[in-house]
Chains A and B, each alone.
Chain A
C-alpha cells in the first residue's frame, strides 16, 4: 500500500482537482481530505456519509461564575491573552474561547478552583462511500484549534480502511502552506505530489514545500498545473525541481473543463475525451510507474 499526499505550498494551484482525478485513476484506493479547515473534495466526489464522529482535540477552560472571587490570578498568568477583564461584569473575568490554547494553566492555579477545564469538541469527521471507493473527511469546528491532530486522525482512519479492504493506494488531499496541518499530512507518507502553478509565487512556494518534503525525507514529485499560462515560468519551475532531486511527472494544461467539472460536481477525468483529462492520466501513469520502481 502506498500513501500519496497532494500538496502545493501555495493555495489554489489545483490540489483538489488533481487529487479527485487520481482517486478515479488509482482505482483500488481510499481517499482522505486533510484540508480540514477548507475541505472541498466532497464537492466533486459525492460522498454518502456512513459514519459521523465528534472530534475532541483538546481541552478548553471556562470560569464558573458562582465560584470566582475576582482575584485576577488567571488574568495574570495566561500567556495567550485569553482571559479578558471587564470590571463592569460579575465576575470581572471571562475566557475568550477563540484565544484560549487549552493549556489549562489558569485552571490549575485558580485558588478557588473556579475554572472548569474540560475536553471540547473541535470538529467532526466522517467515513463515506463514493463511486470510486471509501473516503475519510472532516470538518474542523468554526474558529477551532488542533487542525494537526484532526489531520492525523483522518489519515489513520484512511490507513485502517485501506488495510482492512486491502487497497493499493491512499490518496490524500493536503492543505496549503507548510505549517502544522501540512506537516501532519505528510509525515510518514510514501510520496508527495506537488502541484505548482507557473507564477513567481508558485515558484517561490514550491521551493519551500519541496524543502519541507526534504526535511522529512519524503520522495517528492512535481506536476505544473495550468502550465500554458506562462510556459517560461513553468520550465523554470521544472528545472529547479529537477536540480533539487524532484522528479517531474507531467504537465496539466489550463482548461475550462476543470471549472465546468467542478460546477457539475465531478472529477475532471469524468470527461475522458478532454485534453486536460489526458494530462491527468499521464500524471498518474508516470507517478504509478515511479512509485513501483521505488518499491523494487
Chain B
C-alpha cells in the first residue's frame, strides 16, 4: 500500500471540494442545473430549498462532513418574516445554546436574523453573541400618583384594586408601587379626578448588533417582581421581515407565556432526564393551551438513552433535532463561546435545525 499517495489523493479531492464550494457560491441563484453539474464532478451531493422570495438557495452537503451553506449571489440578505421562540419547562436545558447558534446559522444561510433575549431575569445571550449596543432605554409601568388636595378619601380606589397596591386608611391614600399592575382602575374610578399616573422603571432594553445579527435583550431591575411589561418591550423591538428568534425564560407561567404568545413556532428544548421530561410535559400542556405549532429539540442527547425519543413518540410531538452530549459543546458554553464557531463539527446540527424549522413553520 502507498499511504502517502492516498493522502495526496485525498488532499486533491478536498481541494476539488473547496473549489466546488467556491464555484457554487458564484452561481446566480436559480441556476441549479450548473450547480448540480459542478457538484457531481467532485462527488458532493446537492439539495435545493426554494424560498418564498423566489430566489434559490443552494445547500451543498458533503456526505462525510457538515453542511456548507452558500450565500445567495450579490450578498443581499434574504428576507423572511418568521418569529420562532425557544422555550423549555426546565431551566438550563440549552435554550440559549439553541437560540444563539440558530441565529448564527440563519445569517450564515443568508437570512436577516434577529436574536431577542426575553429571559429578562437572567439574560445570557449577550455573553455568547457579544453585541455592540447602540441603543438603551428604560421600560416603565404606569403607577398612580395621588393629588392629596383633590382626594376626598372615598376609598373607591382601594376597593377596585385587586393587587393591594392602593389603600385608603384614615383619610390617607397610600400606594404600594411594586404591587401595581398598571391596570388604571383607580384612576378611572376616582370621582374627583385626584389620581394621575407616572412611570415606574422596571428595567432596560438594550439593542445593538452582533456581527450580522440584530440583537435585543431586556434586563430586569434587581428586586423587581413585574417582568412581563419588559418582556413585551423586548418582543416588540428588533427588525421585522427577519427570522426573529426569541430566547424565552424557563418555566410555564406568565413570563414564558408573554414571551411566546403570538409567535409562529416554538422549539421546546429538553434533556433526556426525568426532570427534563417532566418539565417538557408541563411545557407541552402550556403550549397546547396557547395552540402554537411546536416541536422538540433534545440537548445532551446520546444514542443509548431513548428516554426523550420515547417520550416524544408517546406525546405525539415531533422531535426536530438532537444535540449530542459532547464535552466540547459544554466546554465552549462554559467559556462563553458559540458551538457554531468553537465546535464547527456541530454546525450541521443547527443548519439542519434551521431548515426543519422553516419547513415546519410553513405548514
Contacts and interface: CB of A to CB of B under 8 A. Distances in A.
Interface residues of B, number: 55
Interface in A233-260: 233, 259
B352 to A, nearest CB: 24
Given A38-B279, A103-B162, A229-B330, A201 B127 contact: yes
A140 interface: yes
B190 interface: no
Contacts of A176: 91-92, 121-122, 250-251
A71 interface: no
A176 B95 CA distance: 14
Interface in A2-51: 8-13, 16, 36-38, 40, 43
A208 B286 contact: no
A91 interface: no
Contacts of B333: 199, 201
Contacts of B90: 11-12, 38, 40
Interface string A258-287: 010011010000000000000000000000
A152 interface: no
B275 interface: yes
A43 B278 contact: yes
Given A11-B90, A143-B289, A175 B251 contact: yes
A111 interface: no
Contacts of B122: 9-11, 176-178, 201, 204-205, 208
A84 interface: no
B282 interface: yes
B335 A40 contact: no
Interface string B70-114: 000000000000000000011111001000000000000000000
Interface of A is mostly: loop
A175 B282 CA distance: 15
Among B96, B188, B254, B307, which residue has the most Cβ atoms of chain A within 10 A? B254
Contacts of A143: 252-253, 257, 286, 289-290
B274 A262 contact: yes
Contacts of B250: 11-12, 38, 176-177
8 contacts: A9-B122, A12-B92, A13-B92, A102-B162, A103-B185, A140-B252, A200-B336, A201-B122
Given A10-B92, A108-B189, A230-B335, 19 more contacts: A11-B93, A16-B275, A37-B89, A38-B250, A38-B251, A43-B275, A103-B183, A105-B188, A108-B160, A140-B253, A142-B289, A147-B254, A176-B92, A178-B121, A178-B222, A197-B334, A205-B124, A262-B274, A265-B274
- Which 5 pairs of residues, A with B, have the shortest CB-CB distance? A11-B91, A12-B92, A103-B183, A200-B336, A177-B121
Interface of B: 89-93, 96, 119, 121-122, 124, 127, 160, 162-163, 181-185, 188-189, 220, 222-227, 249-255, 257, 261, 273-275, 278-279, 282-283, 285-286, 289-290, 307, 330-331, 333-336
